[in-house]
Amino acid sequence: MSQTFRVLLCCEHYPPSVGGVQEVMRQIAERLVSLGLQVTVATSTHPDRAVDTLRNGVRVVSFPISGNLTKGMTGQLAQYQSFLEDGHFDAILIKAAQQWTFDAAVGVLPRLSARKIFIPCGFSGLNDPRYKPYYQNMPAWLKLFDGLIYYASEYQDIAFARQHGLTHIYCLPNGVDEREFADLDDHGIRSKLGIPASHDLLLTVGSQIAAKGHWEVLRAFSKAHLPRPATLVINGNVPGTGKTSLLKRTIKHGLTGRWPLNWEARWRGLLGPNKRVLITDLPRPDLVNLYKSADLFVLASHVEYSPLVLFEAAAAGTAFLSSPAGNSKEIAEWTGAGRVMQAKNTQNAAISAPGLAKEMERMLSDPLGLIELGNVGRRSVFSKDLIWKKIANRYFQIFLEPACKTTIR
């Protein structure tokens, strides 16, 4: 390239905010910088990040905007739209519908000369009556983009695109940071956390909200008749801050029959010496080491799109047991690292605690089988290029080559 290629990535949240979307966008942004691109991120403000700052080579520009078209948007919408129009970007990538960086952009997209790419990210409100007018407009909005990127080859968002005759479709997976999982040394994480070497270690990861299924995992663990002593680690950040947020969350969980997670863990931790429960929010290096040390990774989430945690478990050589959330079945096929349960109803991907308990019992009763699943998963992640080093190159190709269609089987 004779001059620096300029890319804008638009996402509702970005580090130091924590979450799957944030990690995906961070990986894409920083990897594109390493390829020589000039990368800017437009995102929401964060108390621990300056409004306009450089973060690992990525310029991060924050806007005090919130909401979406259905719920209503507040903040500096005009400033964001001017930023899109006046930035002279060569490519713009927007992550996810139903949030302001997409909803505030659709009105100005026709005036932008940049190559425009969109990641729909599941369309979680597609069947919600409140979003009916929103999705009636969606086909016209999707036609404003030069490319649509989907993480799953069979899901409601890509089915929507096909139903409306859209053909500018790319299928790309999520993946893992190959540098974090280059070796399987867990650096003594069990000893650091006081987990006995004789215990089977079960791990689940995700924010401490009901939709992530931690309560189901905890209750299943308490019910399961396991073949050996075991420790369950639930790792996740507590969303929101302050007493008001805590009170609202406690009331919300209480209405669905859930005690605060740490209360319930303490109570169930009294069940006997052969079962222990730890609730943690570990620094990333310690969490990666825990992935490597675990015997079984468990995901009981009700709602996902393409859960990063399953890729990470596979890369760590750890077998997984998952709800059917998002494209978890597809990830199980790609990696060969785990098993996916049936949902208990058609409303979401929630699984029953008794059913999960039985699957825990079955998988932990076959330790050699767990090792084989983990070995197959690790080999698959690296042999099938389910790593960000390779995936970022595919994004760059999409920015440069309109006719390119990248798929994974």
CA separation, residue 274 to residues 221, 232, 296 (Å): 11, 11, 17
Residue 251 has what pLDDT? Answer: 46
Between the two ends of the chain, the Cα-to-Cα distance in Å is: 31
Residue 344 has what pLDDT? Answer: 79
pLDDT in tens, 188-208: 999 999 999 999 999 999 998
Residue 270 has what pLDDT? Answer: 53
Please check the confidence at residue 397 and state whether its pLDDT lies above 90.
yes
Please check the confidence at residue 175 and state whether its pLDDT lies above 70.
yes
Select from 303, 293, 287, 314 the least CA-distant residue to 387.
314
Residues 6+ apart with CB under 8 A from 189: 286, 289, 290, 292, 293
Please check the confidence at residue 253 and state whether its pLDDT lies above 70.
no
As a whole-number percent, the residues of the chain with pLDDT over 70 amount to 89
Residues 255-270, mean pLDDT to the nearest whole number: 60
Residue 320 has what pLDDT? Answer: 98
In a domain, 339, yes or no: yes
Range of the domain at 26: 6-175+387-400
* Gap between the Cα atoms of 135 and 137, Å rounded: 5
The tokens for 265 are 């863990």
Q: What is the dihedral of CA 177, 310, 43, 36, to 10 degrees?
A: 20
Residue 407 has what pLDDT? Answer: 38
Please check the confidence at residue 266 and state whether its pLDDT lies above 90.
no
Please check the confidence at residue 262 and state whether its pLDDT lies above 80.
no
Identify the band that residue 245 occupies on the pLDDT scale cut at 50, 70 and 90.
low
Please check the confidence at residue 20 and state whether its pLDDT lies above 70.
yes
> Does 227 lie in the same domain as 296?
yes
Identify the band that residue 345 occupies on the pLDDT scale cut at 50, 70 and 90.
confident
In a domain, 90, yes or no: yes
Identify the band that residue 303 occupies on the pLDDT scale cut at 50, 70 and 90.
confident
Contact indicator for 151, 174 with CB cutoff of 8 Å: yes
* DSSP type of residue 117: E
> Does 200 lie in the same domain as 141?
no
Residues 153-167, mean pLDDT to the nearest whole number: 95
User: Is pTM, for the whole model, over 0.85?
Assistant: yes
> Does 215 lie in the same domain as 92?
no
> Does 55 lie in the same domain as 169?
yes
The least confident of 29-38, 263-272, 304-313 is 263-272
> Does 318 lie in the same domain as 341?
yes
In a domain, 341, yes or no: yes
The tokens for 236 are 């996740």
Residues 141-167, mean pLDDT to the nearest whole number: 95
pLDDT in tens, 41-93: 999 999 999 999 999 999 999 999 999 999 999 999 999 999 999 999 999 99
Please check the confidence at residue 403 and state whether its pLDDT lies above 50.
no
The tokens for 3 are 């001059």
> Does 312 lie in the same domain as 392?
no
Count of domains forming the chain: 2
pLDDT in tens, 105-121: 999 999 999 999 999 99
> Does 358 lie in the same domain as 396?
no
Domain containing residue 228: CATH number:
3.40.50.2000
> Does 220 lie in the same domain as 121?
no
Higher pLDDT pick, 3 / 234: 234
Contact indicator for 149, 128 with CB cutoff of 8 Å: no
> Does 272 lie in the same domain as 214?
yes
In a domain, 361, yes or no: yes
> Does 392 lie in the same domain as 377?
no
Average pLDDT, the chain: 91
* Gap between the Cα atoms of 9 and 60, Å rounded: 9
> Does 202 lie in the same domain as 105?
no
> Does 235 lie in the same domain as 354?
yes
In a domain, 183, yes or no: no
pLDDT in tens, 2-13: 479 999 999 999
Higher pLDDT pick, 258 / 214: 214
Please check the confidence at residue 404 and state whether its pLDDT lies above 60.
no
Residue 208 has what pLDDT? Answer: 87
